[in-house]
Amino acid sequence: MLLGAATGYARELVLAGAFGASGEIDAFYLSFGIVQTAHDLLFVGSLGATIVPLLHTFGAERADSLPARRRFVVTATMLVGLVATALAIIVWAMMPTLVKVCAPGLSEAVATDVIHFGTSLVWLLPATALTTLFALVLNAHGKFVLAASAYLINNSVFCILVLVFAPGMGARILPLASVAGLLLAIPILAVRLARMNLLAPVWPDLSRSFFSGLWRLARMPLLSLGIGSTSGLLMVSHLIIRGYAADYPEGSIAALGYAFRIYEVPLSLIANPVATLILPIVASLHVAGEVEQIGRLSSQILLWGLVLLFPAAMITWLNADLIVTLLLRHGNFDGDAVSVTAAALRAFAPAVMSEAVFVVFFRFFYALQKPGRTVGVSLATLGALLLLLPVTAPTAFVAIPLCLSAAFTLAAGMLVSLLVHDVGWNALPKFSEITRWVVCALLSSTVGKLALWGQASAYPWSQMTASALFILVYFSSVVLLLPDCQRVVFVAAKKIMRRRSGVGEA
């Protein structure tokens, strides 16, 4: 997953260097967003809420349940392939209408490019849907590395094709580059499932009991059009704000896209791996009736989420200009693109923490077989976003990403409240732990701001120095004040010392 996140960032570097923040990239981001949203709404929510919990219900760790699991996987593969292909045809036919609805403020030239890209990118739908299904089946059986490799392959192939062919083909290579990696990854995942005897020539289960079990968990995500999934909420939210950005000059949609990819880096490294691992773990605990253990797991995740993601959010907010300049300022990515992208990134900074909450805890509710909770939270979040944007978006471009951060903060608060209701107060960190963390956060933030006092002329070195001091003070105080963090550091230090002594003896 670390390599997948790194290549995902490299993908944005390649796009920025080859095309900058241009009208063509506005068109690509919007068309890709439309297609990806269609996938996320229908498949991510319904599959995420059903595949892993149902496979654990069958007994994903028992050899005697293999025939039932095999028939389930074969049936799901057939169903997903047929539905995704049908959806691709529908989206292909409706693409001009979808573009007008999503971004009525687009210029005619950019709108034409969106339709051209979109009618090619629709074939991502069956490829992405099958990849999602196969990855969930592998995760349910503890095969996390191979499942994560699909996205590594996809991003790597995209970068290679754009670097090689963009000088001659221009933006026409983007749809092919987007699809090619998944077409390579799907057979690799399918072969692994076949070796596990989960994909084999057996008759699919078309019985009423199969579909009733599937429908019981999938009905809320499906009836809500997939809004109750992590990706569904994320993609619909970003599609909405990109539509409002169409009223601003060309490059604004691209700036939101680049800033989105940058602020997703800490989430890809921390929140996404935790969410992937936590779904089968909580599903097993739920089947065993271990509610107390689920609560303890939740409190640990919340505490460590605060500890690890707060510095990422702070550095993103304080150093947005420096980050964008260092990472993207090359090739066709000019000073104006840096300025608008940095403004968007700074406004997205609060979402680093709030988005992590629903990325992880949506999976908790899937595992608890309560997908209706996530649907309600998503609808409230989108409602808040749609109330804020018409009022604030016309005032300034930066108001658009700020509205998203505010809506995601609402989602985080609602999820934590629902978790306490379903699991109990032990799902939260202790009050003393929260208080000590607040002291760490305030102390380190104060030191970081004081380090910048009167140092504007020394930019960017003053920014780097202030960030280094902030990190040093923050993690030092965390280790001193939070007992759980102390234990982790001491255990890690002991392991390192033992390995070193072992190497010395050898």
> Could you report the per-residue pLDDT of 175-210, keeping only the tens digit for each?
899 889 888 999 999 999 999 888 888 777 777 776
Does residue 111 register a pLDDT over 80?
Answer: yes
Average pLDDT value over all residues in the chain: 82
Task: Quickly state the pLDDT bin for 225 (edges 50, 70, 90).
Answer: low
Does residue 399 register a pLDDT over 90?
Answer: yes
pTM score? 0.68
| Residue 488: per-residue pLDDT | 60
| Residue 427: per-residue pLDDT | 87
| Residue 404: per-residue pLDDT | 92
* CA proximity to 423, closest of 479, 361, 353: 361
Q: Which residue has the tokens 């005619």?
A: 108
Q: What is the largest CA-CA distance in the chain?
A: 73
Does residue 63 register a pLDDT over 80?
Answer: no
The answer to whether the beta carbons of residues 182 and 150 sit under 8 Å apart is yes
Task: Quickly state the pLDDT bin for 387 (edges 50, 70, 90).
Answer: very high
| Residue 217: per-residue pLDDT | 65
Does residue 355 register a pLDDT over 50?
Answer: yes
Q: Which residue has the tokens 């990325």?
A: 359
Question: Mind listing the pLDDT tens digit for each residue in 424-471?
Answer: 898 898 888 899 999 999 998 888 778 766 555 446 777 778 888 888
The answer to whether the beta carbons of residues 297 and 282 sit under 8 Å apart is yes
Separation of alpha carbons 101 and 246, rounded Å: 12
How many CB atoms neighbour CB 496 within 10 A? 10
Give the CA radius of gyration of the chain. Answer: 23
Question: Mind listing the pLDDT tens digit for each residue in 326-352?
Answer: 888 776 777 888 888 999 999 999 998
Question: Mind listing the pLDDT tens digit for each residue in 42-60?
Answer: 787 677 767 777 777 665 4
Q: Roughly what angle, to the nearest 10 degrees, separates helices 23-39 and 108-121?
A: 40
Task: Quickly state the pLDDT bin for 407 (edges 50, 70, 90).
Answer: very high
| Residue 131: per-residue pLDDT | 92
Does residue 503 register a pLDDT over 60?
Answer: no
Note the residue count of the chain: 506
| Residue 504: per-residue pLDDT | 46
The answer to whether the beta carbons of residues 382 and 401 sit under 8 Å apart is no
| Residue 199: per-residue pLDDT | 84
Separation of alpha carbons 110 and 100, rounded Å: 11
In the numeric block, which tokens belong to residue 21?
């923040």
Separation of alpha carbons 356 and 363, rounded Å: 11
| Helix ranges, 40-121 (H) | 45-58, 66-102, 108-121
Task: Quickly state the pLDDT bin for 161 (edges 50, 70, 90).
Answer: very high
| Residue 438: per-residue pLDDT | 92
| Residue 140: per-residue pLDDT | 82
How much is the average pLDDT of 163-168? 88
459 contact partners, CB below 8 Å, separation of at least 6? 322
76 contact partners, CB below 8 Å, separation of at least 6? 47, 51, 133, 137
The answer to whether the beta carbons of residues 25 and 173 sit under 8 Å apart is no
| Residue 62: per-residue pLDDT | 57
Does residue 219 register a pLDDT over 70?
Answer: no
Beta-carbon-side half-sphere exposure of residue 365 (alpha carbons within 13 Å): 31
